Amino acid sequence: MARGLPGGVALLLCATLYASRQNFRPIWRSGAVLAGALLMTWPALYNGYPLLYPDSMSYLEDGRLVARALFLHRFSADYGGRSFIYCLGILPLHWNVTPWPIVALNALLTAYVIWLVVRSILPWQTVTRYLVLVVLLSLLTSLGWFASLIMPDILGPVLYLCIYLLVFARETLSRAERLTVIPIAWWAVASHATHLMLAAGICVLSGLLLVLRRQSMRCRLRAVGEVAMIVLVAAAAHLVLHSYLYGKPSLNGKRLPFLMVRVIADGPGRWYLEQHCGEVKLAICDHAHNLPDNADDFLWTADGIWQSASEETRERLRQEEIPFVWATLRAYPREQLSKSAANFWDQLMTFDLEIFRPNEWILQVFDRVLPGERSSYLRSRQTRGALPHEFFTSVQNWTVIASLVVIGVFTPRKWRSWPPRLIGLGVVIVSTVVANAFVTGVLSMVENRFQSRVIWLLPLLAGVLVLDWRDGRQRLVE
């Protein structure tokens, strides 16, 4: 093209074209992240409204109570059982008017963090590969569904990927990117109790992995310490906020007695009460004759034990929970261990999209939480039960199976030759998926939402492995 031009002019033209390409590169990358975020919101757009779960209404409602106590000093007896930090964080986005900005934030944060992860492993042709991965993950997994859901669930996977970036791919981040990832990680840790527990576990596991591999020890361990500090600051924020609202420090305020409910639903807790209620004075003994056999009936049924209990009885149940659980474990250790192992396995295998069915309770409280949005929500496909969640559950199941096959094929062959970043990403993702099933299934209850919110990380890992392998093949050919 420049053959007929003088040498200086041709050189100047080439330099100008190169500079233009460099100048447009940040715009192109930002456009890719925005496009990825938009792709993730397709379930909300198709539904005609952000996806809602019963807990969504509590997160939307509780923020006003906490803000009123913080800024107007108008205190309440109870502020709900959700993360107050998450409730406060999303309050300026919705103001109990519309939840759409929350979906936008979910998608942008997720798209941005995935972009940084893909770039850390695949620095060439990143835009194309990133968009391919996002399209596949959005269509074939639960990623888009949880980005479109008004819940902190999507922030869990975002957090675990942030930990990978800060510990194993720190050198791929600019100072500005690192200073952006840190507050994202902090807010994600503070948004849910399980996020805090899993983040602490990943810190310990990452530190052990670095010690065993002995690679860049000082720098990497300092990064683990930085993530641990993020977790500690998030925990401290909860302690201070609960101390201000309730008068005593706590990580989770007036929480529900999940452990008590778990061991009773499993059986050993029920057996213990049948044998010992004559000699111990526990509040739960008043209901020993009509204990439900599942956690939902205990906690959420209108005439169930928890919903019908007075505030005084609820406080007694909270205080007696840990002693009761320890007593049950001492009395039936093998039986409870067997039940917990079964719960863990059930949770590990349960990741469908059934949670997006219509729910009557949402409609009952809708006018109180989003008073001007009822008609919009009633027009949504979720309200009419018209979302294709069964079809996409089947699609996700096959995608996860294929991803496990890919991971299983590549790991034995490539483990020793994998770069440290890829090893770090694999360890973070696999350990997160397993630990999430353990924490939720054993300590809370088996629910499809818990595992479905993280299961898309496995296809992400499989996709990165395939693209990295393809890069290696191309380099060999060249």
- Provide the residue-wise pLDDT of the chain in tens; the chain has 478 residues: 444 444 454 544 454 444 444 444 677 788 999 999 999 999 999 999 999 999 999 999 999 999 999 998 898 877 777 888 999 999 999 999 999 999 999 999 999 999 999 999 988 888 999 999 999 999 999 999 999 999 999 999 999 999 999 999 999 999 999 999 999 999 999 999 999 999 999 888 877 777 666 655 566 678 888 999 999 999 999 999 989 988 888 877 778 888 998 999 999 999 999 898 888 888 898 888 888 878 888 888 877 888 888 888 888 888 888 999 999 999 999 999 999 999 999 999 999 999 999 988 899 999 999 999 999 999 999 999 999 999 999 999 999 999 999 999 888 766 666 778 898 899 999 999 999 999 999 988 889 999 999 999 999 999 999 998 887 666 555 5
Report if residue 427 sits inside a domain: no
Report if residue 438 sits inside a domain: no
Q: Which residues of 430-462 are buried (b: 16+ CB within 10 A; e: fewer)?
A: ebbbebbbbbbbbebbbbbbbbbbbbbbbbbbb
Task: Read off the tokens for 111.
Answer: 């798209």
Using CB atoms within 10 Å of the CB of residue 232, give its burial: 0 to 12 exposed, 13 to 18 middle, 19+ buried: middle
Number of C-beta neighbours around residue 7 at 10 A: 8
pLDDT given at position 413? 67
Report if residue 7 sits inside a domain: no
The enclosing H or E element of 209 equals helix 193-213
Give the residue from 117, 157, 121, 137 showing the smallest Cα distance to 36. Answer: 137
Same structural domain, 64 and 111: yes
For the chain, report the end-to-end CA distance as a whole number of angstroms. 26
Same structural domain, 274 and 201: no
Same structural domain, 185 and 290: no
Q: Please tell me whether residue 221 adopts helix, strand or coil conformation.
A: helix
Range of the domain at 117: 26-254+350-378
Same structural domain, 189 and 233: yes
Same structural domain, 311 and 245: no
Same structural domain, 100 and 154: yes
Report if residue 229 sits inside a domain: yes
What is the chain's alpha carbon radius of gyration, rounded to the nearest angstrom?
25
Same structural domain, 169 and 312: no
> How far is the CA of 258 from the CAs of 22, 351, 424, in angstroms?
54, 21, 33
Task: Read off the tokens for 412.
Answer: 């034995």
Q: Which residues of 111-136 are buried (b: 16+ CB within 10 A; e: fewer)?
A: bbbbbbbbbbbbeeebbebbbebbee
pLDDT given at position 336? 94
Report if residue 402 sits inside a domain: no
The tally of domains found in the chain comes to 2
Report if residue 397 sits inside a domain: no
Same structural domain, 271 and 297: yes
Report if residue 435 sits inside a domain: no
Q: What are phi and psi of 80, to 5 degrees?
A: 95, 175
Question: What is the C-alpha separation between 25 and 17, in angstroms, rounded?
Answer: 12
Query: Is 168 within 8 Å of 421 (Cβ atoms)?
Result: yes
pLDDT given at position 101? 96
Report if residue 396 sits inside a domain: no
Same structural domain, 285 and 185: no
Same structural domain, 194 and 212: yes
Question: What is the C-alpha separation between 262 and 282, in angstroms, rounded?
Answer: 17
Query: What's the angle, vertex CA 124, arms to CA 118 and CA 129, rounded to 5?
Result: 50
Same structural domain, 307 and 236: no
Same structural domain, 234 and 274: no
Query: Is 452 within 8 Å of 355 (Cβ atoms)?
Result: yes
